[in-house]
Amino acid sequence: MAQNNTRTVPAGTPTNVTQKHNKGGIGESTLRPDGTLKVTGEFAYSSDMWHEDMLWGQTLRSTVAHAEIVSIDISEALAMPGVYSVLTYDDLPAEMKNYGLEIQDTPVLANGRVRHHGEPVALVAADHPETARRAAAKIKIDYRELPLVTDEASAIAPDAPLIHPGRDDHHSGHVPHPNIVHRQPIIRGNVEEARKRADVIVEGEYTFGMQDQAFLGPESGMAVPTEDGGVDLYVATQWLHSDLKQIAPVLGLPEEKVRMTLSGVGGAFGGREDISMQIHACLLALATNKPVKIVYNRFESFFGHVHRHPAKLHYEHGATKDGKITHMKCRIVLDGGAYASASPAVVGNASSLSVGPYVIDDVDIEAVALYTNNPPCGAMRGFGAVQACFAYEAQMDKLAAKLGMDPVEFRQLNAMEMGTIMPTGQVVDSPAPVAELLRRVKARPLPPERQWETAGEGSDVRALPGGLSNTTHGEGVVRGVGYAVGIKNVGFSEGFDDYSTARVRLEVINGEPVAMVHTAMAEVGQGGVTVHAQIARTELGVTQVTIHPADTQVGSAGSTSASRQTYMTGGAVKNTCEAVREAVLEIGRRKNGSYHPAWATAELLLEGGKVVTDGGEVLADIAEVLEGEDAIDLELEFRHRPTVAFDLKTGQGDGHVQYTFAAHRAVVEVDTELGLVKVVELATAQDVGKALNMLSVVGQIQGGTTQGLGVAIMEEIIVDPKTAKVRNPSFTDYLIPTILDTPTIPVDVLELADPNAPYGLRGLGEAPTLSSTPAVLAAIRQATGLELNKTPIRPEALTGTL
């Protein structure tokens, strides 16, 4: 993939960067320590773990979406040679038998009722994985099927079955129906009066499909019982301490007896925020007193984690004839599936970001999430904001077309900037270069047309729609160009106590100062361990930095999600390193009789293994200062500035800590006869505040862009509306982009520092997923002239054969 790593910092822009120069420090494209191992296949993932005398766990899942469990017969499974244990709900050891991220509504094993296709019902432990699978298949379950809830109409009908009868959680009191998980309105200004000022009004109904995270490594882990009656759990996850708080109560153990260590994670994208096999492996290990390993296959993985919420979105916008947007009204309905997971937070994001990066003073917004019998949905890269961006960007194109304006110029005319007031009343107090991002992607030269025509060598079918399927040779192929821009929040919002912890140890080993950084951050492939080492080298002036394995023996680092880890855990590492540095200098000042008088007066730094003045004068080696001293070992927490919950009637409140922005220009070629699409290029521009590692920054942006492309033209979990069963739980039928589908992705990086953030950085991993999808849709619309209000675009939608 081609790339353009433009680093743009306009004159006078504050950078808020510690100015130290140490090899491998911040600002350098330091290579990832796990990179070579991963590309050569030598990296050890959680599925590769092995323990002497271990057993294999298997989960039996429901074959229907909504039913009463009349009976369960486990006798044949228990009688099989090699089977050590079979567990059902009645065998759970503690009074607490449910778990959940925010609302504890998910049973560890189904309790008399299943609410979605693939819900866990029973567990088996055996001495071989095939034995465990065969034993699970011998468990006999008698189901009495119940009426289904599959959409909003069936969820709130007068006779609708209640997915969770008698629910009593902190959202239940302000929703209009028990089958609504959460509702968030946002009201600002007066839409009815603003509508009168509009010269044009456009409306749209949009449908966003259910997307799978499609991570590399399916769910896996190992639980090992310990002599103190506890359990050691080695697992691939996104948030160790959140898992711990959910696991310990249902095991009936104090948290200190459930020790968790992060194992190799093969991607996450939100799909590992929720519990999957963690509790099941621990239950089986404690029941058998043997190590138990569970590894999902790809089929089971589709049922073992949450997905992106499918959505129905209705939007109305008005504008004056000179192109100023007068008002916006929208309603967003998210299908949360059978359990709450992160649905409340997704609702908050969808509503508060539903206007997009535009100045609109008069808005009327409502977002809801439903309980249904469809698969549970929760966190996925850019959650809530992705669905909204798809709709509001289509609306921007509709408005521009109706006004006869260029779609980029129309967006720039209405673009927010620093100082803009969000629909929630929050003032954007850091750079918001929306118009500039759009200018950059538009100004980039377009790729050559008809690239499949190779002079003198025939056609290169790889460059054609349909690619190597060799279905077309250019007949009926037309080009389209589309634009989009999006806004995403960074970090946990709405008053959540978002913090992260870091422990840093500095000591002298073999005459050289060495730092160890210990956090509970889940390295899921985002490159956080690389950045933490860069921060430590910069702040401590050392070369040798060791990253301790992530576990629960240190304070929480929060989730690897919400584009927050570099900001939050990076901030914790920075702050703790600064405290360690001050401790070193204090030791030096105490010993200053042996050194230079500048110890007493100068501003001192650690750089290149030395203690230096701000003028660069070397005072001592760090190793000399620490000679005869104990290691400096500190653990500190870091919090961003506080946020507040949105008002439940008006949606007002400073609910987010930071905003991030990305824009895309998509170039596509469409065979209008066959309905095939080739995305030729997805150029992008993004403000990252400060690129701590440009190589990682570009990789994150290109990865997020590709995920957005996937949901635009190929990715969707198909749920049968009559049975609520998943129809395509495999990568044979659920399509994801391969390298042959991935276009050129040139990246233009701006660095406009946020003065409130460590180093001025912005979270960046999610923003490119927002705008890449609507940019591709806009390009296809421009090529075909079709409205195309649903993702993903399928061939039949382009050929009129629906």
Listed residue (147, 183, 520) closest to 334, CA to CA: 183
* Cα of 728 vs its chain's centroid, Å: 23
Averaged pLDDT for residues 108-130: 98
595 vs 629: which has the higher pLDDT: 629
CB distance 58 to 123 below 8 Å: yes
Max CA-CA distance within the chain?
87
- DSSP symbols for 12-64: T----------TT-TTS-PPPTTHHHHHHT----GGG---TT-EEEEEEE-SS
pLDDT in tens, 633-682: 999 999 999 999 999 999 999 999 999 999 999 999 999 999 999 999 99
Determine the residue type at 73. Answer: D
DSSP annotation of 90? G
Six token digits for residue 588:
């030096």
- pLDDT attached to residue 404: 98
Considering Cα of 325, then 355, then 698, then 715, what sign does the dihedral take? negative
- For residues 563-597, one letter each, b for 16 or more C-beta atoms within 10 angstroms of the residue's C-beta and e for the rest, the string is bbbbbbbbbbbbbbbbbbbebbbebbeebeeebee
- The predicted pLDDT at position 729 comes to 97
Could you write out the DSSP letters of every residue in 649-668? TT--S---SEEEEEEEEEEE
The helix (run of H) or strand (run of E) holding residue 390 is helix 385-403
Q: Is the Cβ–Cβ distance between 115 and 109 less than 8 Å? A: no
pLDDT of 473 = 80
Residue pair 791/499 in contact (Cβ under 8 Å)? The answer is no
Angle at 330 between CA 326 and CA 333, to 5 degrees: 170
402-445 tens-digit pLDDT:
999 999 999 999 999 999 999 999 999 999 999 999 999 999 99
- Do the strands 120-126 and 55-61 form a parallel or antiparallel pair, or are they unpaired? antiparallel
Could you read off the pLDDT of 721-733 as tens digits, one per residue? 999 999 999 999 9
- Predicted confidence (pLDDT) at residue 800 exceeds the cutoff of 80: no
Closest to 706 (Cα-Cα) out of 673, 659, 738, 748:
738
Q: Where are the beta strands (DSSP E) in 475-523?
A: 477-490, 499-509, 512-518
pLDDT in tens, 320-378: 999 999 999 999 999 999 999 999 999 999 999 999 999 999 999 999 999 999 999 99
8 Å CB contact between 125 and 134? no
Taking only the tens place, the pLDDT of each residue in 177-233 is 999 999 999 999 999 999 999 999 999 999 999 999 999 999 999 999 999 999 999
Residue count of the chain: 802
Q: Which residue has the tokens 């992008």?
A: 684
> Which residue did the predictor score with more confidence, 591 or 228?
228
Percent of the chain topping pLDDT 90: 91
> So what's the pLDDT on residue 18?
38
pTM over 0.75: yes
For the cut 50, the answer to whether the pLDDT of residue 124 exceeds it is yes
| Cα of 246 vs its chain's centroid, Å | 20
- Taking residues 572-583, what's their average pLDDT? 98
- pLDDT band for 458, please (50, 70, 90 cuts): low
| Token code pair at residue 193 | 């009066």
